[in-house]
């Protein structure tokens, strides 16, 4: 069975010293302190240690083969977004990361599909880089759940979404820059509590801001099964109906209308929750994702789905068909 993992992260083995080049800022750089591992440094602060499977394409293909998965959709690690940088420098960082992924896709067309990153802090530059992403063979882009704490409903982002629809580029929204980060650092809460809330924030912003309403052909996919959005859709729908004066101010269409319009990945770590996600988002809208190679991801690449008693056609849809539809790609191009 063809398996495509649509939520995986990759970065180049060597990064420029952007802080030196630009003369400011906590840009990420890598310290290769021992074979097969590197420290991600945010300025002078240690961010996390990563292993060679964060950058080595052949090692990744080998690790994926152990889980019967042939294709990886790759995008950068959200900490690389650099939305806080000067726009031109953000463009520079984006171009470097996008060229790296384009080269990878070019070298391993059966194993890798690429999503780019955009300097979302500048609408014109973001559209310019989106156009270039398409030219160099990427099929979509990944953006953060907020842009420097601005919600995705802000008017400055709309032309970028509009360009995605026009250029037929898919969108992947990933939580980052988590709300409440500084007030709940203990117990890994930004990742366990903040991230699911961030993704719901992104979906709610795009619904209530009328982005989906105005762009019916925009193909968006949200990480971690849409975070807390689907589990709290009853509350969100009720809020829309009981306080339209607060909620329905930019879009009069109830949020539940948009169930089935956007994709979510399957990263739930829980078959009961996955069944609920399939029921609410639609069985044709759930895609195999892992968050590889990070420990909070599903590093057995959907084994819990394979082992479940879900119908074979649902498994096939999750493992490949739904992702191919999201990215507008043909299955034949990835078969051996
Ligand atoms: Zn991720």
The answer to whether residue 262 sits within a structural domain is: yes
Please say whether the beta carbons of 80 and 116 come within 8 A: no
CA–CA gap between residue 265 and residue 323 (Å, rounded): 9
The answer to whether residue 25 sits within a structural domain is: no
pLDDT at 189: 97
List CB contacts of 34: < 8 A, sequence separation 6 or more. none
| Six token digits for residue 228 | 């807390």
Residue 307 CB neighbours (<10 A): 10
Residue 237 has pLDDT above 90, yes or no: yes
64-88 pLDDT tens trace: 999 999 999 999 999 999 999 999 9
Could you tell me the residue range of the domain that residue 211 belongs to?
4-12+52-334
| Over residues 210-235, mean pLDDT | 98
CA–CA gap between residue 221 and residue 171 (Å, rounded): 6
CA–CA gap between residue 255 and residue 22 (Å, rounded): 43
The helices-and-strands tally (H runs, E runs) of the chain is 14, 11
pLDDT at 336: 83
Q: Could you give the C-alpha distances from 77 to 114, 174, 249, in angstroms and in order?
A: 13, 10, 34
- Expressed in angstroms and rounded, the spacing between residue 224 Cα and the centre of ligand 1 is 8
- Expressed in angstroms and rounded, the spacing between residue 167 Cα and the centre of ligand 1 is 24
* Furthest CA-CA distance within the chain: 58
- Expressed in angstroms and rounded, the spacing between residue 316 Cα and the centre of ligand 1 is 22
pLDDT at 91: 98
The answer to whether residue 20 sits within a structural domain is: no
- Expressed in angstroms and rounded, the spacing between residue 300 Cα and the centre of ligand 1 is 15
CA–CA gap between residue 117 and residue 239 (Å, rounded): 34
| DSSP H or E run through 305 | helix 303-306
- Expressed in angstroms and rounded, the spacing between residue 39 Cα and the centre of ligand 1 is 18
The answer to whether residue 23 sits within a structural domain is: no
Residue 55 has pLDDT above 90, yes or no: yes
CA–CA gap between residue 86 and residue 125 (Å, rounded): 11
Please say whether the beta carbons of 108 and 61 come within 8 A: yes
Q: What's the CATH number where 180 sits?
A: 3.20.20.140
Residue 213 has pLDDT above 90, yes or no: yes
The answer to whether residue 18 sits within a structural domain is: no
Please say whether the beta carbons of 268 and 228 come within 8 A: no
Report yes or no on whether pTM surpasses 0.95: yes
Query: How many separate domains does the chain show?
Result: 1
Please say whether the beta carbons of 96 and 5 come within 8 A: no
- Expressed in angstroms and rounded, the spacing between residue 75 Cα and the centre of ligand 1 is 9
| Over residues 298-304, mean pLDDT | 97
The mean of the pLDDT values for the chain is: 97
Closest CA relative to residue 286, chosen from 303, 271, 299, 274: 274
pLDDT at 112: 98
CA–CA gap between residue 286 and residue 225 (Å, rounded): 8
Residue 236 has pLDDT above 90, yes or no: yes
Closest CA relative to residue 16, chosen from 95, 70, 120, 77: 95
Please say whether the beta carbons of 55 and 12 come within 8 A: yes
- Expressed in angstroms and rounded, the spacing between residue 244 Cα and the centre of ligand 1 is 34
pLDDT at 4: 98
With H, G, I as helix, E, B as strand and everything else as coil, classify residue 40.
Answer: strand
The answer to whether residue 186 sits within a structural domain is: yes
| Over residues 215-240, mean pLDDT | 98
Percent of the chain past pLDDT 90, that is, above it, reads 99
112-150 pLDDT tens trace: 999 999 999 999 999 999 999 999 999 999 999 999 999
Residue 295 pLDDT grade (very low, low, confident, very high; cuts 50, 70, 90): very high
The alpha carbon torsion through 325, 329, 335, 336 (nearest 10 deg) reads -150
| Over residues 163-183, mean pLDDT | 97
The answer to whether residue 22 sits within a structural domain is: no
CA–CA gap between residue 233 and residue 260 (Å, rounded): 13
- Expressed in angstroms and rounded, the spacing between residue 313 Cα and the centre of ligand 1 is 26
The answer to whether residue 145 sits within a structural domain is: yes
């Amino acid at each position: 069975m063809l398996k495509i993992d649509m939520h995986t992260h990759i970065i180049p083995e060597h990064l420029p010293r952007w802080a030196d080049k630009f003369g400011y800022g906590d840009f990420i750089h890598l310290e290769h302190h021992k074979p097969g591992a590197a420290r991600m440094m945010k300025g002078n602060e240690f961010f996390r240690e990563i292993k060679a499977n964060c950058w080595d394409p052949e090692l990744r293909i080998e690790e994926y083969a152990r889980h019967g998965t042939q294709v990886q959709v790759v995008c950068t690690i959200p900490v690389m977004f650099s939305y806080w940088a000067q726009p031109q420098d953000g463009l520079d960082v984006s171009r470097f990361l996008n060229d790296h992924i384009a080269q990878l896709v070019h070298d391993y067309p059966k194993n890798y599909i690429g999503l780019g990153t955009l300097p979302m802090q500048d609408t014109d530059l973001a559209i310019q880089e989106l156009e270039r992403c398409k030219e160099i063979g990427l099929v979509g882009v990944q953006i953060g759940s907020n842009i420097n704490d601005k919600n995705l409903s802000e008017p400055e982002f709309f032309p970028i979404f509009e360009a995605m629809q026009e250029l037929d580029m898919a969108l992947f929204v990933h939580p980052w820059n988590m709300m409440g980060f500084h007030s709940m650092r203990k117990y890994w809460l930004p990742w366990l509590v903040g991230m699911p809330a961030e993704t719901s924030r992104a979906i709610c912003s795009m619904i209530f801001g009328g982005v989906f309403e105005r762009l019916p052909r925009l193909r968006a996919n949200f990480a971690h099964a849409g975070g807390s959005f689907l589990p709290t859709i009853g509350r969100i729908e009720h809020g829309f109906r009981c306080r339209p004066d607060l909620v329905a101010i930019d879009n009069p269409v109830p949020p539940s209308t948009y169930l089935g319009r956007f994709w979510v990945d399957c990263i739930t770590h829980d078959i009961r929750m996955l069944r609920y996600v399939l029921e609410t988002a639609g069985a044709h809208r759930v895609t195999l994702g892992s968050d590889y190679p990070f420990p909070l991801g599903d590093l057995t690449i959907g084994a819990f789905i394979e082992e479940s008693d879900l119908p074979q056609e649902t498994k096939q849809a999750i493992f490949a068909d739904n992702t191919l539809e999201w990215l507008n790609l043909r299955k034949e191009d990835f078969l051996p």
